[in-house]
C-alpha cells in the first residue's frame, strides 16, 4: 500500500491539547479507602515499577460489548486483597450503532440502558471493584485524544512512520470490529437464513468486503520487538500454551493495522483529533481505558501512583490478538510500560457449542444466581472453569458439584464435627493451647503435615494466576479431612478424640479463611459457626490460615439447626 502524509491539521489540533490534566478520582470500594502504603509488591511480575516505587495491585477485566444484555461471564478471584480493580463496558461502535437503530433508540441511551445491566450483574455476583469504566466516559475520551495527540507531537508515531494514511480493502467483521485477511475467512452457511456467507475462521462471525481510506498503524515494524519481549517475559501470558501460539502467529508476519474508520460509515465514536472525517478504531480506543483509570495522561513522576502498569489483564481467548499483539505494540510506540501479566480464560459452551446471543443458547446469569445462590455459582464457575480449554455449562453439573463437594463435603463435615464435640469446641482448642493434646498417631501426624503445607500450595497457585487449581487445593483439604475423620473415629476413643477434633476444627478454620475470595458468604457462615472472631480482621486474613495460628476461636458456640449447604430446590 502507498503511504500518504498525515494531515497537518491533526498536528495543529494536538498542540493545543498537550497540557496534561490531573487525574481526579480516588480509590474507594464499598465504603473503605485503600492506602497505597499497605500494598505489597508482586512476586511473579514480568516487569517492575522503578525501584522504590509503590503502586496498587492493579487488575482489569475483559472489555464487554453492550450491544445487548449481559450473558454469563466467568468471574475469577485474583490473588492479593489489596488491589485496584475495574470492570469495563466497551462500546463496539458500528455493531452498537446498528443495534440501537434496530431498537429505535438513540445510541447513547441504548448503551446507558445495557450498561446498567452489566453493573447490576457485578452487584448480583457479589464482585468487588473500584471502578466500572465505559468507553463513553468523558475522562476516557480525553485520554484517547491525548494518546493520539501525544504520539504526533512527540514525533514517535508520525515521524517514525508508525502512522500513515492509505486505502484499505479487506474482509471486515462488524461484530469483531476488525479486518481479516483472505487467509482468515471462509465460506459458511447461515443457519438462520440458509444463505452462504463469509465468516472469520477465528471467531465465526460474518464478514463483509470493505474498501476505505483511513489511518494505519505500522504494526509490522514491531514484529522483532514483540518477539524479543515474549522471549524475555515468558510468563507474560498465562496459560503458557497461549504464548506458544502467540510467538508462532507473530513470527509468521504482521500486517499493518487500520486504526480509524470513515465517519460517514461510523458516525458514533471518538473523532481523530484534527480530522473529523475519521473515527478512531474501537480497539485502539477501548484498550486505552486500561490507562484512563490509572491516571493517564500521567503527571510527571506519578506514572505508577494509580497502578500502571497493570498487574493482570483478565481476558477471554477470543481477544488475545488485541491484548497480546496490538496493545503491547501501541504502548511500545509511545514508550509506555507494558502490562505485567495477561490471564487468558476459555469459553463456557452449551452442549459443546459456543454460547451466542444470536443462536439463543446463552445462560441468564441473574436466573442462575437466583436459582442456585451466588456463592454456588462463584464456586462452580471457578472450580470447573479451566484457563486453557473451553468448559461445558449444564445445570446438572452445578447440582452435582453442589451435592458432592459442598453439601455432602464441606457442609456435612462441619456439622458432624460439631455433633461429635457436642457443640463445645473450647476444651479441644484449650488443650492445644496448653500443650495437653494426646500424643499424635501416625494418622494424626500425616494429616497435620498435610494441612500445614496446604496454604502455601494455595498461595503458589494464586501467584501463578491459577484460581481453579487454588480452589481445588482448598477442597482437597476438605476431602482429606473427611477421610481422616472417618479413619480416626473420634467417637470411639474419647482420650485420643481431643487431637482428632482439634485437627478437624483447624482444617475447617483454615479452609474457611482460604475460601473467602471464592465463596465470601458461605466462608463467613463457616467461620461464624466456628466462632472465629469477625471483629478482629487479622483472625480471618490469609496469614491466619496457619495451623495453630488462632487459639481463641470456638467460644460460646450456639447449637443450631441451620445447615451450611441445605438441599437445593430444583425441578425434576
- Residue-range domain boundaries for the chain: 92-130, 165-217, 365-571
User: Smallest Cα–Cα separation from 74: which of 388, 342, 346?
Assistant: 346
Residues of the chain where predicted confidence (pLDDT) is lower than 50: 1-52, 66-92, 152-155, 572
Residue 167 to residue 332: CA distance in whole angstroms: 25
Distance CA 196, CA 188 (A): 6
Is 532 within 8 Å of 540 (Cβ atoms)? yes
Collect all residues with Cβ–Cβ distance below 8 Å to 231 and sequence separation of at least 6. none
Q: Give Cα separations from 370 to 115, 218, 254, 367, 396 (angstroms).
A: 20, 49, 46, 5, 16
Q: What does the pLDDT read at residue 94?
A: 57
Give the pLDDT confidence score for residue 89 in this predicted structure.
41
Q: What is the pTM of this model?
A: 0.80
Q: What is the reported pLDDT for 358?
A: 66
What spatial distance separates the first Cα and last Cα of the chain, rounded to whole Å? Answer: 63
According to the model, what pLDDT value does residue 445 have? 97
Give the C-alpha separation, 168 to 181, whole Å.
11
Which CATH architecture best describes the domain 365-571? Orthogonal Bundle (1.10)
pLDDT for res 153: 44
Alpha-carbon span 278 to 199, nearest angstrom: 26
Distance CA 101, CA 267 (A): 12
Residue 84 φ/ψ, nearest 5 degrees: -115, 120
> What sign does the dihedral 289-362-398-521 (CA atoms) show?
positive
Smallest Cα–Cα separation from 124: which of 393, 364, 398, 382? 364
Instruction: Give 403's DSSP letter.
Output: I
Between CA 320 and CA 314 the distance in angstroms is 10
**Residue 382 · residue 77 · CB < 8 Å:** yes
Query: In 3D, which of 252, 253, 275 has the Cα closest to residue 263?
Result: 275
**Cell 496498587 -> residue:** 56
Task: Specify the 3-state DSSP secondary structure of 4.
Answer: strand
Amino acid at each position: 500500500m502507498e503511504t500518504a502524509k498525515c494531515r497537518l491539521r491533526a498536528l495543529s489540533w494536538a498542540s493545543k491539547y498537550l497540557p496534561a490534566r490531573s487525574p481526579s478520582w480516588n480509590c474507594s470500594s464499598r465504603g473503605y479507602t485503600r492506602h497505597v502504603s499497605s500494598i505489597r509488591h508482586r512476586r511473579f511480575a514480568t516487569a517492575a515499577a522503578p525501584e522504590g516505587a509503590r503502586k496498587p495491585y492493579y487488575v482489569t477485566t475483559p472489555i464487554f460489548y453492550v450491544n445487548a444484555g449481559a450473558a454469563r461471564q466467568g468471574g475469577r478471584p485474583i490473588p492479593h486483597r489489596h488491589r485496584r480493580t475495574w470492570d469495563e463496558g466497551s462500546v463496539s461502535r458500528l455493531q452498537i450503532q446498528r443495534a440501537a437503530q434496530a431498537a429505535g433508540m438513540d445510541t447513547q441511551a441504548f448503551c446507558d440502558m445495557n450498561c446498567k445491566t452489566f453493573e447490576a450483574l457485578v452487584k448480583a455476583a457479589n464482585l468487588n471493584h473500584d471502578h466500572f469504566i465505559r468507553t463513553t466516559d468523558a475522562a476516557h475520551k480525553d485520554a484517547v485524544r491525548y494518546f493520539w495527540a501525544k504520539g504526533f507531537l512527540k514525533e514517535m508515531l508520525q515521524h517514525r512512520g508508525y502512522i500513515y494514511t492509505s486505502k484499505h480493502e479487506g474482509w471486515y467483521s462488524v461484530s469483531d470490529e476488525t479486518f481479516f485477511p483472505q487467509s482468515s475467512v471462509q465460506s459458511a452457511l447461515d443457519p438462520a437464513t440458509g444463505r452462504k456467507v463469509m465468516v472469520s475462521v477465528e471467531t465465526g462471525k460474518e464478514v463483509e468486503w470493505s474498501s476505505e481510506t483511513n489511518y494505519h498503524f505500522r504494526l509490522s515494524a514491531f514484529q522483532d520487538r514483540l518477539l524479543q519481549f515474549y522471549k524475555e517475559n515468558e510468563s507474560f501470558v498465562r496459560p503458557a500454551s497461549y504464548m506458544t501460539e502467540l510467538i508462532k502467529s507473530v513470527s509468521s508476519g504482521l500486517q499493518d493495522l487500520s486504526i480509524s474508520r470513515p465517519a460517514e460509515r461510523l458516525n458514533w465514536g471518538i473523532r481523530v483529533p484534527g480530522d473529523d472525517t475519521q473515527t478512531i478504531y474501537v480497539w485502539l480506543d477501548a484498550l486505552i481505558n486500561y490507562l484512563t483509570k490509572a491516571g493517564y495522561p500521567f503527571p510527571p513522576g506519578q506514572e505508577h501512583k494509580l497502578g500502571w502498569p497493570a498487574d493482570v489483564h483478565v481476558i477471554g481467548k477470543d481477544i488475545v490478538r488485541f491484548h497480546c499483539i496490538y496493545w503491547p505494540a501501541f504502548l511500545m510506540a509511545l514508550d509506555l510500560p507494558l502490562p505485567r501479566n495477561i490471564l487468558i480464560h476459555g469459553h463456557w459452551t452449551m452442549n459443546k457449542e459456543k454460547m451466542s446471543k444470536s443462536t439463543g443458547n446463552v445462560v441468564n446469569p441473574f436466573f442462575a444466581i437466583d436459582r442456585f445462590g451466588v456463592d454456588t455459582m462463584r464456586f462452580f464457575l471457578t472450580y470447573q472453569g479451566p484457563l486453557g480449554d473451553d468448559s461445558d455449562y449444564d445445570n446438572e453439573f452445578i447440582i452435582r458439584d453442589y451435592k458432592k463437594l459442598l453439601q455432602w463435603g464441606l457442609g456435612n463435615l462441619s456439622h458432624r464435627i460439631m455433633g461429635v464435640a457436642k457443640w463445645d469446641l473450647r476444651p479441644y482448642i484449650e488443650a492445644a493451647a496448653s500443650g495437653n493434646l494426646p500424643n499424635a498417631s501416625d494418622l494424626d501426624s500425616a494429616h497435620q503435615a498435610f494441612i500445614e503445607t496446604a496454604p502455601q500450595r494455595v498461595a503458589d497457585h494464586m501467584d501463578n494466576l491459577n484460581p481453579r487449581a487454588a480452589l481445588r487445593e482448598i477442597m482437597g483439604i476438605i476431602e482429606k479431612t473427611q477421610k481422616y475423620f472417618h479413619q480416626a473415629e473420634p467417637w470411639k476413643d474419647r482420650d485420643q478424640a481431643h487431637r482428632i477434633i482439634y485437627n478437624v476444627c483447624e482444617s475447617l478454620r483454615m479452609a474457611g479463611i482460604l475460601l473467602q475470595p471464592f465463596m465470601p458468604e458461605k466462608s463467613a457462615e463457616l467461620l461464624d459457626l466456628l466462632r472465629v472472631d469477625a471483629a478482629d480482621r487479622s483472625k480471618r486474613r490469609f496469614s491466619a490460615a496457619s495451623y495453630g495460628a488462632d487459639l481463641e476461636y470456638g467460644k460460646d458456640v450456639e447449637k443450631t439447626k441451620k445447615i451450611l449447604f441445605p438441599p437445593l430446590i430444583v425441578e425434576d
